[in-house]
Amino acid sequence: MTFCRALRHRGISIGPKEAADALRALVAVDLSDRRESYLALRSVLTSRRDDLFIFDHVFAEYWNPPQEQQALPQMPQPLPQTGEAQAATPTLLRWLDEALEADGEQMPAYSPLETLTQKDFSAFSADELDEVARLVVRIARRVATRVSRRMRQARRGRVDLRRTLRGSLRRGGEIIDIAFRRRKIAKTKVVLLADVSGSMDLYSRFLIQFIFALQHTLGHVETLVFSTSLTRVTDALSEADLHRALDEVSRHVPDWSGGTKIGHSLRTFLKEHGDLLTPRSVVIVISDGWDTGDMDILEHAIAEIRRRAGRVIWLNPLLGSPGYEPICQGMRVALPYVDVFASVHNLESLRQLEKFLAVKK
């Protein structure tokens, strides 16, 4: 019981049912065999790869506290293997239910901090960052679910044989009316091109977090990051845990926070990942437009992307600063080819992102 609670504290989701199954599993295996009990509990109480590490850690801590290395102290009362155990289970379950419910109430409920949402990312103090990071994830989730709901409403008919046949029966088997069935269309694919060069360093931390959450909820997101060159990080970001994902990303990206060659990067994108662009895909470029490369290349690349994709959104964190005008060369070149030019300097602006994510042309 307390073991389950310890696991839950580390973020593994365990409900009463899992805890009950853990008990049933312990009854089913040889309890005197420690490794076996361990494997059984692990099999029941974990549900994703990242849980495994946490589980191992908690298990070691719990059943082998550093001081009393050898003893196997708080193992649950060795449950007899026979009918007695089965009889005992319902009582245990009831107790479990109550215990877990009581525990559930203590779970901290999260309340969004409104003041944070208006603040520029660059203005946060270190201790606010964690809070903000969590908020970013929540917003991304919400954006993602709204987006997919909207996509579900975009529909197209298909012949419904079942209803057609039903109708025909009434006319002696002659098919006169063809009934249609509505079916979901292929989902919109979101392609994110995020600038992680030096000038964007401040914002990239949040953006990556945002992208990560978006990818996790939406599923159909391809993520590429660029500064002087381009790297696809979709797989790296698909690690279920953000911190490991970030490690993974930084390992894959050679020039994190270097200079920027937007045009060059976009051209690489077209060449190597051009198949991601379809009339159904939404391309989101996140960059401040400070390009140190060749403007012609940039113009060609963005024009090409515009032609092949359903929608091009350019998010610029600088747009949030009062008095900013897109005068830097790169931005000026790219602007004519962009459907939506918006800001991502604070949390509120991330929230706004939702309304841009539908393809309509």
Partner 1 sequence: MHPEITRIQSMLDSQGYVADRELATSVYLAIELRKPLLIEGGAGVGKTEVAKVMAKALDTDLIRLQCYEGLDATTSLYEWNYQRQLLHIRLQEHSDLPLEAREREIFSEPFLLKRPLLQAITHHRAPVLLIDEVDRVDDEWEAFLLEVLSDWQITIPEIGTIRAKHVPYVVLTSNRTRELGDALRRRCLYLWIDYPVFEKELTIVRRRVPGVDGQLADQIAAFMQFVRRAKLDKVPGIAETLDWSAALMALHRDHLDREAIEQTLGVLFKHRDDAELMRSQWLDHLLRGLEQIDREPRPWNQQTIERVADNILPRR
CB-wise, 213 or 313, nearer to partner 1? 213
Q: Is 196 helix (H, G, I), strand (E, B) or coil?
A: coil
Contacts to partner 1 from residues 236-295, by CB under 8 A: 238, 240
CB-wise, 25 or 113, nearer to partner 1? 25
Among 197, 204, 206, 216, binds partner 1 (CB under 8 A): 216
Q: Which residues contact 144 (CB under 8 A, 6 or more apart)?
A: 213, 214, 217, 218
CB-wise, 33 or 177, nearer to partner 1? 33
Q: Residue count at the site for partner 1 (CB under 8 A)?
A: 41
Residue 284 CB, nearest approach to partner 1 (Å): 20
Residue 123 CB, nearest approach to partner 1 (Å): 33
CB-wise, 51 or 299, nearer to partner 1? 51
Please state the three-class secondary structure of 213-270 as a single string: HHHHHHCCEEEEEECCCEEECHHHHCCCCHHHHHHHHHHHCCCCCCCCCHHHHHHHHH
Binding mask 137-156 for partner 1 (x = CB under 8 A): -----------x--------
Query: CA–CA separation, 219 vs 30, rounded Å?
Result: 41
- If 0-12 CB within 10 Å is exposed, 13-18 middle and 19+ buried, where does residue 63 land? middle
Contacts to partner 1 from residues 8-67, by CB under 8 A: 13-15, 17-18, 21, 24-25, 28-30, 33, 35-36, 39-40, 42-44, 46-49, 51-52
Residue 361 CB, nearest approach to partner 1 (Å): 24
CB atoms within 10 A of CB 174: 9
Query: Please, are residues 151 and 172 in contact by the beta-carbon 8 Å criterion?
Result: no
Contacts to partner 1 from residues 157-186, by CB under 8 A: 161-162, 165-166, 168-170, 172-173, 184
Residue 184 CB, nearest approach to partner 1 (Å): 8
Residue 119 CB, nearest approach to partner 1 (Å): 30
Query: CA–CA separation, 302 vs 335, rounded Å?
Result: 9
Residue 14 CB, nearest approach to partner 1 (Å): 8
Residue 64 CB, nearest approach to partner 1 (Å): 19
Residue 237 CB, nearest approach to partner 1 (Å): 11
CB-wise, 30 or 101, nearer to partner 1? 30
Query: Please, are residues 215 and 223 in contact by the beta-carbon 8 Å criterion?
Result: yes
CB-wise, 129 or 185, nearer to partner 1? 185
118 binds partner 1 (CB under 8 A): no
Instruction: Report how far apart, in Å, the C-alpha atoms of 285 and of each of 69, 223, 262, 288, 338 are.
Output: 54, 10, 10, 9, 10
Q: What is the DSSP string of 51-117?
A: HHHHHHHHHHHHHS-TTS-S--TT------SSHHHHHHHHHHHHHHHHHHHHHHHHSPPP---HHHH
Looking at the DSSP assignment, which residues form a beta bridge with residue 227? none
H or E element that contains 38: helix 34-45
Residue 163 CB, nearest approach to partner 1 (Å): 11
> Does the CA dihedral 323-325-329-330 come out positive or negative?
positive
CB-wise, 223 or 260, nearer to partner 1? 223
- Residues forming the site for partner 1 (CB under 8 A): 13-15, 17-18, 21, 24-25, 28-30, 33, 35-36, 39-40, 42-44, 46-49, 51-52, 148, 161-162, 165-166, 168-170, 172-173, 184, 187, 216, 219, 238, 240
